[in-house]
Chain A
Amino acid sequence: MTVATITFAISGLLAGIAGVLIAPRTFANPYLGGTFNTFGFVSMMIGGTENPAFAMAGGVLLGVLAEGANTYINSQASDWFPFVILVLVLLVSPKGIFSLIAAALGQLPLLIKQFPLYLQRTRERVASIERPIAVGRADEASPLLANPLADRLTRYALIAAIVIAYLVATYLIAWADLQGQGLILVAAIYAILAIYLDATAGVLGLYSLGVGGFFAIGAYLTTILSTIYGMNLFLLIPIVVVTTGLLGVIGAALLRVSGLHFAITTFIFTLVITVLATDLQITNGMQGLLGPNFPDLRDSLASLGSPIVWCVMLTLLVVTFVVWSVRRSLLYPVLLAIRDAESFAEAAGVRPGPVKILIFALASAAIGFAGWLFCFLGVVSPSQFSWSVSLNVLIMILIGGINTTPGPIFGAAFVSMFPVLVHINPWLQQVLYGVLSISVVTIVPEGAVGVAKRAWARLQPTLSRGVRPPAALDAAPARETEGAVERDSLVRLFRRRARTPRLRRRLRRSSNVATSHSDMGQGRPF
């Protein structure tokens, strides 16, 4: 522990020295930290993690390039230039340039020898791979799993009740006063952001700090294109969604590096977008732009109240539903496997790379859409999208409960309503958020929903916890009967072996008919 303490002390010292060295050249304001963080992180990534001194080399390189950009491109180029450099470096060498150089010098002969082999193997690999082996006919339904119809109907009734209550609440909100509306809408949009971040971070393990950046792109793109260029608002939806989705794809392509590098890159992304928003003429700097007005509904629907409320709340409903259904699908264990045990997932035939890229791109597109929704709520200015917003969304998930369905919604409601209910100095409020984030991660990592679940479990001791543990293998049932069960299971498992694909497809088609017949026998609806 002492080693770590001393190391952190030295790091602090170095940062301090850097600070006083730069002080005479700039103005001292408390928010410098963010900008310099960008440069510091990029230096570290360029240098690589093999040797800390490489970070210095990376910094010098970055400085020269930034000054060059300042001189030859534009005096403000050094704001976004580091990010471009970072992306290039990560594409070329995830471990940083200098580490690559050092490693390459050591490995050069082997690399040269391997190159033709690599080419040859790539060529051979492009030849098609067999389609995944699909099981032909369905196994007979096991009695353990048949969902009794009554049970399912009760569940449907419950879900329908929740949805109806939600729609009624939306109607009430649509007619409420503007201030209350504004509060709830902001909370709802943050809930959408939180749900998507939970889907990437909680389920898939991709800790993206780029929420603020994608959110900003969505909002600014909509505002600029609609107020300045006069484009149709609804036409902008696909534009915004596709843009953020594509950016998400590029970002996720950098995912082949570790999750930490991904977090850092997205962090820097948000910082850069914020800085761009402050610098560019078109975004009107720190004051921001006034968002467009949401078009009114047709007269026939006017009785529903404010249209933007319906838009936002319906989006929230759809988003919650989508994530909820993924959690109940066959994809869910696979996603968790990619998060926790990637080699296990790979060994089962899953390709983690494309899955991660796809999900991250979809989440980014959705966050861009949330930006589209957000700009109708008022002013769009850089301070609303800074890196502290990304952090706020993460805090929302952590408070509410990571990797749960109601968690992010609850967290979003709590965090966004908090400043309105408790009136304190805005700076102290942010300090409180910071302290909250530290304490949540330290003390209650599973969030409110997790705490609730544990309390519930403790109140219900007779449920699964208390059941007598099943007979372990060491207990001695009759060998023959035990063997019989297992042999029978093995037979069912391996009954159908792989045959030619065409034959299998024909089998499958005919078997679907067989399945539906057997389903009818069981009383299950189609």
Chain B
Amino acid sequence: MLQFLLSGVSIGAIYGLLGLALALSFYVTRVINFAQGQMLTMAIVVAASLSESGYNPWIGVALGPIAATAIGVVSYFVAVRPILKADRFSFGWMVSTLGFGLALENAIAYVVGPRSRAFPPLLNNIGVHIGGVLLTAQQILAIVVAGVIVAALELVRRRTLFGKVGMATASDPEMAECIG
């Protein structure tokens, strides 16, 4: 029973990261980016194709999130900002982010082909025994990374200026915009 509990926590950490991404963008800007799943795919595909082309897989691991970040910013400027500029309270961003996700998904399929490809099991092969339960190092890494990120986010939110600005924008976007 502990087995599935721990492995559940590890995969849950990943789901939670994606949910955190969604919730964060919603919290600050009141917009949900329906294309987040596609950004996740982007990272995976970039990393996978890099590793297939022979580079060190860790480079792929580093570049993947960077690519996803770039796409995130692009999605904001293309799909969200024009809508919000026109009318702050419309729901048009739902359609446009969905469309962005659709376009992204199929662009990736066009560029690298739709078949699945394997990814080198970087840390997945290392097994660690915890209390009679077998977990791969990858899973433990996932939990650790997720925990660190959440803690960092909370710290940033509460203590730093940027965090407070974020909270202010969340509660009253127009006023925040007026202030700058």
Contacts and interface: CB of A to CB of B under 8 A. Distances in A.
Interface in A1-48: 1, 3-37, 39-44, 46-47
B103 A431 contact: yes
A80 interface: no
Interface in A45-90: 46-47, 49, 51-68, 70-71
Interface string B77-119: 1111111001000111111101111111111111010111111
A433 interface: yes
Contacts of A47: 19, 23
A18 B109 contact: no
Contact of A52 (B23, B45, B48, B73): B23
Given A21-B141, A68-B4, A7 B166 contact: yes
A10 B24 contact: yes
B66 A16 contact: yes
Interface in B57-89: 60-61, 64-73, 75-83, 86
A53 B20 contact: yes
A14 B17 contact: yes
Most buried by B among A22, A58, A70, A71: A22
A307 interface: no
A438 interface: yes
Contacts, number: 387
A66 B8 contact: yes
B11 interface: yes
Interface in A372-392: 387-388, 391
A15 B10 contact: no
Interface residues of B, number: 110
Given A19-B44, A30-B105, A438-B96, A8 B80 contact: yes
A433 B108 contact: no
B110 A431 contact: yes
Interface residues of A, number: 95
Given A16-B67, A29-B116, A11 B21 contact: yes
Nearest to B78: A438
Interface in A218-258: none
Contacts of A15: 17-18, 21, 36-37, 39-40, 43, 68, 72
Given A25-B138, A391-B102, A12 B69 contact: yes
A30 B46 CA distance: 10
Interface stretch (A117-125, A259-267, A286-294): A259-267
Contacts of B12: 43, 59-64, 66-67
A36 B37 contact: yes
B138 A40 contact: no
20 contacts: A4-B80, A13-B68, A17-B149, A21-B13, A24-B120, A27-B118, A27-B119, A28-B45, A28-B118, A31-B41, A33-B105, A35-B37, A49-B27, A53-B153, A64-B9, A207-B94, A394-B95, A427-B106, A427-B109, A438-B78
Interface of A: 1, 3-37, 39-44, 46-47, 49, 51-68, 70-71, 207, 209, 259-260, 263-264, 267, 387-388, 391, 394-395, 398, 425, 427-438, 440-442, 445
